[in-house]
Amino acid sequence: MFALRGAARFSFPLNGKTRMRTLVVIGGGPRAAGLLERIAAQSPSLELAVHVVDPYPPGAGRVWRHAQSPLLRMNSMAEDVTVFTDSSFDGAGPVRPGPTLAEWGDVEPTSFPSRQVQSKYLAWFFDHVRESLPPNISVTVHQARALKVVGNWVWLDSGESLRAEVLVLALGHLDAEPEPEHRKLADHASEHGLVYVPPLYSADADLSEVTGDVVLRGFGLAFIDLMVLLTEGRGGRFVRSGQLEYLPSGAEPTIYVGSRRGVPYHSKTGYRLQGTRPALPNFFVADALRGRELDFRGDVWPLMAKEIAWGHYHELFTGHPGLVRMPFTEFAVSFAALPWYSAEMRELEELAVPDPADRVDFERLDRPLAGLTFASGEEFQEYLRAYVEADVARRSDPRHSADLGAFLALLSVYGQMSQVMPYDSWWHGYFSYLASGPPPDRLEELLALSRAGIVRFVGADMWVEAVDGAFVAGSPTTPEVVRANGLIEARLPTHSLSRTADPVLRSLRAVGDVSEDDAGLVRVTAEGRLINERGEVDPVRFAVGPYTTGKAYAAFARPNTNAPAFRQNDRLALEILRTLGD
């Protein structure tokens, strides 16, 4: 174990008074605000000074800051976003209820608000938490960037230094130094007068030089943001006269988009459950798997698939009994007894669910263009437009509310999975593709842009090459090859400690006080404590967020789901208070 770096473990009287303890939190976004709320909820008795360090506004942080395009929106309905615990919460700390985004902002519950609206909600939450603190806890916000951590001291670019008896790194999503491929592409663009935009956050991208023909590599949420910024953000307009149409401003580039799947993320559903809410988890339960040596494909995924299918069929049978051939109780008994990938399970589905469109096929969902080829690019444009139109229609029609049942089971599986085994990149991508897609009207806009010739689809397994004077791209899906003067990586950077651009992590890595796993994530204990290069656990430094081996949960959650992020904040708050000696 490390020495305590001069920090005492317990409070002690000093001149008749309890000594003030100090907690420094680097990062002031939603995670920091939620952690502060949980610390206050524990009603600690110690005198505590909390210092929150972030150059961006507290509560919202960098990703949710108000200073970004008003065109950028959330991909969650307003009624599905909360920063408050509710009666479903089973953490050690007390429940402190509060309004959802819809209730706080008095906005349509099923709308998808702008990120600026969410920014105001998060800023209000931070202020609400700070104003609700007992008199023995103070919070000071330092709108500065933390440059390094040396021993107990945190050095800021404002010239200040803060002594941290306990330090929490709540850094959020981080930038990374370019990968070798990205350096080569950037050098090629520089040499040939082209434009190259590496992986980064859409709100931070400089798109001013993007003109002509540009390839976007990636078809997820980052693509949707970039699509909006490069079209409506340049003065184009969407108008509806029957179907949605796009009226270009003339300043748009022609956007060529492709990816591994070659299709956009599935639309968010626009309806509520028609049947009864399923009890989750049912088959994929972390407690039953914890401590076992597991293979993801052989042991874990089949149970995950069964859980997701259970959510789908529970809603299909209870919400749409006219679409099935047997009572749900009979189906449920047989379903529970069968392995997901058994012939008997397929026979049960065919017997009970007459329409193949109402059955679950995870492999087809994963690779919808597998095995398909088209004679021309134009033929593929028509096919993919029909595919997207069908997806929007399905996600907008309550007749297909079984998809919402599957979505709820996906959320349950995501929370359970994080307790069972380390991060799996395929699963995270698959989850995002199925559950974290754009609002349906964004896909309608994609269709309008496609019909207008502003967006063209490249296909699955898209390849990109740098050639003299251009970037070229193509796909096995069609014979068409695209030649463009720009390439944009439409995805977030992949964080790796060895390539991190964060100065605090770099300073800790330089002295061996932080380490990484095989995926490049910062190693932490189950309680969130940093693990150094020698495998020793730091007694006073914690880290939480998607860049760590800890469980990476969204900082806000759906109401009434016993949100994992809130439970994580609660456990971390207790651990911090124990360390400070309360």
What pLDDT sits at residue 425?
80
Give the pLDDT band of residue 17 (cuts 50, 70, 90): low
Q: Would you place residue 13 in the very low, low, confident or very high pLDDT band (cuts 50, 70, 90)?
A: very low
- Can you tell me the mean pLDDT for 145-159? 97
Dihedral (CA of 424, 430, 431, 437) sign: positive
Cβ(411)–Cβ(285) under 8 Å? no
Confidence of residue 270 (pLDDT cuts 50, 70, 90): confident
The one-letter amino acid code at 4 reads L
Pairing of β 137-142 and β 48-53: parallel
Which pLDDT band holds residue 11 (cuts at 50, 70, 90)? Answer: very low
Report pLDDT for 119. Answer: 98
pLDDT in tens, 493-514: 988 999 999 999 999 999 999 9
HSE at residue 403, side-chain half, CA atoms within 13 A, is 20
In whole angstroms, what is the distance from residue 386 CA to residue 394 CA?
A: 12
Domains of the chain: 18-176+494-580 (3.50.50.60), 180-265+454-489 (3.50.50), 286-369+395-435 (no CATH)
- The whole-number average pLDDT for the span 76-81 is 94
Which residues, in sequence order, are bridge partners of residue 53?
Answer: 26, 142
User: Which of 408-412, 419-423, 545-549 is least confident?
Assistant: 419-423
Range 236-251 average pLDDT: 95
Q: Is 581 left (phi over 0), alpha (psi -120 to 50) or beta?
A: left
Give CA separation, 545 vs 29, 30, 174, in Å.
11, 11, 10
Closest-CA residue to 458 (of 370, 381, 365, 371): 381
Residue 474: beta bridge partners?
463
Give the per-residue pLDDT at 252. Answer: 98
* pTM summary value: 0.92
Which pLDDT tens digit goes with each residue over 362-385?
999 999 999 999 999 999 999 999
Q: In what order do the strands lie in the sheet with 537-543?
A: 137-142, 48-53, 21-26, 166-169, 537-543, 529-531
pLDDT in tens, 512-571: 999 999 889 999 998 999 999 999 999 999 999 989 988 767 767 889 988 889 999 999
pLDDT digits (tens, 9 = 90+) for 97-135: 999 999 999 999 999 999 999 999 999 999 999 999 999
- Compute the mean pLDDT over every residue in the chain, rounded to the nearest whole number: 93
